[in-house]
Amino acid sequence: MIDTTNYRPDNNILKGRVILVTGAGQGIGRAAALEYAAHGATVILHGRKVDKLESVYDEIESEGGAQAAIIPFDLEKTEGKDFEVIAQAIKSQLGRLDGILHNASFIPSLTPLESHTFDQWLVLLRVNLVAPISLTRACLPLLKASTDACVIMTSDTHGHYPAAYWGGFAVAKAGVEALVKIQAQEWEMHTNLRINALIPGVVHTSQRTKTHPGEVKKNLVAPKDLMSTYLYLMGPASKGVTGKTIFCQKHE
Is 60 exceeded by the pLDDT of residue 252? no
Reported as a single tens digit per residue, the pLDDT across 116-165 is 999 999 999 999 999 999 999 999 999 999 999 999 999 988 889 899 99
- Global pTM reads 0.91
Reported as a single tens digit per residue, the pLDDT across 57-115 is 999 999 999 999 999 999 999 889 999 999 999 999 999 999 999 999 988 888 899 99
Could you please state the CATH topology (level 3) that the domain comprising 18-247 is classified under: Rossmann fold (3.40.50)
CA distance to 23, 46, 144, per residue, from 172 (Å): 17, 21, 26
Q: Where are the domains of the chain?
A: 18-247
Q: How far apart are CA 167 and CA 208, in angstroms?
A: 16
Closest C-alpha among 149, 101, 105 to residue 128: 105
Q: How far apart are CA 240 and CA 119, in angstroms?
A: 39
